[in-house]
Amino acid sequence: MTDTYLNLVNSGFTKKIAQQLGLPRPAVLRRFRPGQPLLDGPVLVLGSGADADTVARILSGTSRAAAGTAGTDGVIDPASTIPGWDLDVRRDPAAGDRYAGVVLVLTEVAHPDDLAEPVLALGSVLKALPAHARIVTISRPATADEGPATAAARQGVDSILRSVAKELRAGATGNGVVVADGVPVTAPSVLGGLRFFLSTRSAFVDGQLLDVDTDGGALPLDWERPLDGRVAVVTGAARGIGAAIAATLARDGATVVTVDVPAAGEQLAAVANRVRGTALQLDVTAPDAGTRILEHALARHGRLDIVVHNAGIVRDKLLANMTPDRWGSIIAVNIAAQLRINEQLLTSGDFTNEPRIVALASTSGIAGNRGQTNYAASKGGVIGMVRATAPLLTAFGGTANAVAPGFIETDMTAKIPPVTRQVARRLNSLQQGGQPIDVAETVAFLASPQAGGIVGHVLRVCGQNLVGQ
């Protein structure tokens, strides 16, 4: 679905009129293309202490304990030495410099007084940030164990990040990596999360905090093909977000099994052919859906490593007008099917090679939405499901997480009345709807080896929707 307003205010004569009238001018977001540099300019690393120094070394050159020698599975041992990211790193703001990225390493703050220096240093460069700049905080969670002052400072970091993200313009974003106590900043998921947020893969992820719970996972040998050798299943893959997820996983190196209902068989086959994968016509609500998915993957590809639960439907009605069939069909497809498939996979004994489950939730499942009590229940259920499923996978080096899209330009949102659709597009910090690829990039990150320390969480892809954090 094309956003005509966005195109008009970013082109030719109408751009000038929009400027003169002071109309909102959402930027055309810069999205990932293979081969592009991580950043188009220098990165400023703010913060003091050993963690800030370590992050600066990793970003600029060779660093110990960041990652290194590749094993036979194509991932890198986080305990060895590798080249850094070869970025132009600066440690102090300088007048006239324009930074493509700013990383605030605030893991060692112990009192709210500690926030002033690094945060005001960030403020001093905000006006000079170029379009599509990236701000990323690295901090620790606010827990009672650390005492009131430290908890206050750490919680302050979260709120600062969300507030700064709402001040950014021209496609710039702000996000944070929250690192559990005892987990080093060199852990794969800390570095993986930092790289994801600095990159154009996270174009529509804004104002979000990514929790890293463990030092699990590993950094890939090739950042552009982190899924080499992995086999992934994507449900609801015949069109829209599902098709974008299948294409993105394949681009990142995975062999993809596309799944959708028999009625979508022709479209499904086309997607499978494009990604050089295989197609399985299957209703995910079938009692043996999980078993059939696993059998197909093993028979055709010899393994199954990643399951993306994307299949979903909507049957919107105000609760006062809700019928049992509308309620029941939503629960059956959007959450009960996922629970059944997961159970069959987890008890099979064949889903144990650092498995990844990534499920599609929704901002409606977080904040609720008028006329969507059934949908919100199912998507809230997805969030609860991954939280409880993740610990069941840790013994195998696996994870379960969710992605919660906001307003995404799909066939479904194209059916929303025009005025409502325009309002929905502007109700986020980036003032536009996302694209299916934005969801797909986030799914691919959570399915990757470097996300192994992210256990049972939800990452929103909503441009920092102004309702429900």
pLDDT, one tens digit per residue, over 302-335 is: 999 999 999 999 999 999 999 999 999 999 999 9
Q: What is the average per-residue pLDDT within 75-87? A: 57
The pLDDT value recorded for residue 62 is: 54
Residue 466, both tokens: 């102004």
Q: Strands 89-90 and 209-212, how do they pair?
A: unpaired
On the question of pLDDT at 76 being above 90, the answer is no
The pLDDT value recorded for residue 5 is: 74
pTM of the predicted protein model: 0.93
User: Exposed e or buried b for every residue in 99-128, given b needs 16+ CB within 10 A?
Assistant: bbbbbbbbbbbeeeebbeebbebbeebbee
The pLDDT value recorded for residue 468 is: 56
Sheet holding 209-212, edge to edge: 89-90, 43-46, 101-105, 134-139, 173-179, 209-212
Q: What angle do CA 223, 227, 232 make, to 5 degrees?
A: 155
CB 347 within 8 A of CB 396: no
Task: Name 320's Cβ contacts closer than 8 Å, sequence gap at least 6.
Answer: none
Q: What is the average per-residue pLDDT within 154-174? A: 97
CB 173 within 8 A of CB 431: no
- DSSP bridge partners of 434: 408
Average pLDDT, the chain: 91
On the question of pLDDT at 463 being above 90, the answer is yes
Q: What is the average per-residue pLDDT within 55-66? A: 72
* Percent with pLDDT over 70 in the chain: 94
On the question of pLDDT at 68 being above 50, the answer is no
* Percent with pLDDT over 90 in the chain: 80
Domains along the sequence of the chain with CATH: 1-30 (no CATH), 33-212 (3.40.50.720), 225-461 (3.40.50.720)
The kind and range of the H/E element at 195 are helix 188-198
Is 5 labeled as catalytic in the residue annotation? no
d(CA 66, CA 188): 8
On the question of pLDDT at 80 being above 50, the answer is no
Q: Strands 219-220 and 75-76, how do they pair?
A: antiparallel
> What band does 296 get if pLDDT is binned at 50, 70 and 90?
very high
The pLDDT value recorded for residue 70 is: 45
Report residue 245 CA to chain centroid gap.
12
Residue 178, both tokens: 């929250």
Q: What angle do CA 329, 249, 395 make, to 5 degrees?
A: 80
On the question of pLDDT at 140 being above 70, the answer is yes
Decide: helix, strand or coil at residue 102. strand
Q: Which of 327, 375, 407, 445 is labelled catalytic?
A: 375
Report how far apart, in Å, the C-alpha atoms of 437 and of each of 6, 7, 443 are.
18, 18, 10
pLDDT digits (tens, 9 = 90+) for 411-461: 777 777 777 777 788 888 999 999 999 999 999 999 999 999 999 999 999
* End-to-end CA gap in the chain: 26
In this structure, what are the phi and psi dihedrals at residue 221, rounded to the nearest 5 degrees? -65, -35
Report how far apart, in Å, the C-alpha atoms of 450 and of each of 27, 43, 57, 104, 212 are.
30, 22, 19, 21, 11
Helices 337-346/373-393 angle, 10° precision: 10
Report how far apart, in Å, the C-alpha atoms of 112 and of each of 93, 185, 255 are.
22, 21, 48
* Residue 119 identity: V
**What long-range pairs does 113-116 form, CB within 8 A, spacing at least 24?**
114/153, 115/153, 115/156, 115/157, 115/160
Residue 287, Cβ neighbours under 10 Å: how many? Answer: 10
> What band does 1 get if pLDDT is binned at 50, 70 and 90?
low
d(CA 198, CA 224): 14
d(CA 187, CA 181): 12
Q: What is the average per-residue pLDDT within 351-368? A: 95
Q: What angle do CA 233, 358, 284 make, to 5 degrees?
A: 50
> What band does 72 get if pLDDT is binned at 50, 70 and 90?
very low
Q: Which of 75-84, 201-210, 387-396 has the lowest mean pLDDT?
A: 75-84
Decide: helix, strand or coil at residue 357. strand
